[in-house]
Amino acid sequence: MSHAPAAVLIAAPASGQGKTTVAAALARLHARAGARVRAFKCGPDFLDPQWLALASGAPVDSLDLWINGEADCAARLAAAAREADLLIVEGVMGLFDGQPSAADLARRFGIPVLAVIDASAMAGTFGAVAHGLRTWRPGLPWAGVLANRVGSARHAAMLQEALDPEAGWLGHLARDEGLSLPERHLGLQQAGELPDALARLDRAADALAATPLGQRALGNWPRWQAPGADAVASVPPLLAGRRIAVARDAAFAFIYPANVALLRAMGAELVFFSPLAGHALPACDALWLPGGYPELHAEALAARVDLREQIVAHVLAGRPLWAECGGMMALAETLVDKQGQGHALWGLLPGTAVLGRRLAALGPHRLALGGEELRGHSFHWSRFETALAPAFMTESARGAAAGAGEPVYVSGSLRASWFHPWFPSSPALAARLFCPEPLA
């Protein structure tokens, strides 16, 4: 097959329409048939990419025109296009939501948009929604429309009849709870937590195979022209000879593959360990506690008194520790879970992490230090009640009107924040998180 792949950006009018299910089903359908599939997620996300990676069999990077920057997005798309038969980009929220939006990404790189619309409570209005998505912004490349959660064959016919001829009917999926991916706060459940995750994707792929979209052979898709990309600059070996321990399990799972790749490109040796599995802290020069769901595993983490003592010794020896969102929660003196029960956690940071009942923060942020700018995002339901004063604050990409930034706490060689950085946005500043020198 040609190195000019097929490509599609799967979007929707809003969150909760089923775009992750459709994106993963499409990836699984073609990957299990032997096609080389590469998937991406528009915007910062740790959960949807887990499902897309399982479906496609390849790592999934995020694409965000502000966080990554346009050049980084172009380079990742171009690299994937050289090795893939099909590129799938899953959108974020609704097609035009956010600044930049999934539509902005589609227009910038000419990726045709497939609109997934939950049609469970509509008939003729389906055509109006599809028309609006297709025509709201001029120059939007278009692939077609897929109706989701359809009640019957007659319902599907009504939906198809409501469409403009140019809308491109690509079929429908029936209303079936078995095709939905399970959710919790912050988003979908993690794919690795479900023993039947692949079976769920196969069921969705089988359903999609009965649609015009699923029955279209890749050879009949329009070829997509990958963007021209500047040669990727070599990364200086800022972490050469440094061994970084990374917590990775169901409690610490929010890790961008691109962040791991960058640390290795800068010369670091990474060693992964699981606090939930009882692993000791590996011998290391620096420690990374990523985000995840410590609140769901608070009792098990509280019982790791041995690991707590090892982390305390690590920090007292002046070795760096970067704790990110959920990783910071695990370092609090107390973690209060959804049931209001307090757990004595590892206590390296004074204060209490409390899981809230609603969203506490969401949006793109930047951390500017020493002439460098590390970009990323914030997304959490919890709050951290502490008397510890922040050493630094991130800034919202949306300006002061969007509210205060996120605090960055420093205690000796420990650095912690709600902020999720995208390391490739500033390799130099990312490297400093894992080096003993002060950040300032």
Domains recognised in the chain with CATH numbers: 6-220 (3.40.50.300), 243-432 (3.40.50.880)
Quote the pLDDT of residue 383. 83
| Residue 179 DSSP symbol | G
Per the DSSP assignment, residues forming a β-bridge with 411 are: 414
Residues 222, 112 contacting (CB under 8 angstroms): yes
Quote the pLDDT of residue 178. 67
The answer to which of 181-185, 224-228, 229-233, 338-342 has the lowest mean pLDDT is 181-185
386 three-class SS = coil
Q: In whole angstroms, give the CA distance from residue 29 to residue 48.
A: 17
Tell me the DSSP string of 393-428.
E-EETT-GGG----EEEEETTEEEES-EE-GGG-HH
Residues 188, 18 contacting (CB under 8 angstroms): no
375-392 b/e (C-beta count within 10 Å ≥ 16 → b):
bbbbbbbbbbebeeebbb
Quote the pLDDT of residue 196. 79
Ramachandran area for residue 347 (φ above 0: left; ψ -120 to 50: alpha; else beta)? left
289 three-class SS = strand
Quote the pLDDT of residue 1. 40
Work out the pLDDT band at 266, boundaries 50, 70, 90.
very high
Question: Can you read off the two tokens belonging to residue 212?
Answer: 């015009």
pLDDT: is 3 or 374 the higher one? 374
Mean pLDDT across the stretch 73-78?
95
Quote the pLDDT of residue 38. 98
Digit-coded pLDDT (tens) for 380-408? 677 888 899 999 999 988 776 556 789 99
Quote the pLDDT of residue 400. 65
What is the average pLDDT score of the chain?
92
Quote the pLDDT of residue 176. 80
The answer to which of 199-203, 308-312, 351-355, 376-380 has the lowest mean pLDDT is 376-380
73 an active-site residue?
no
Catalytic residue among 42, 73, 284, 325: 325
Work out the pLDDT band at 2, boundaries 50, 70, 90.
very low
Residue 361 has pLDDT above 90, yes or no: no
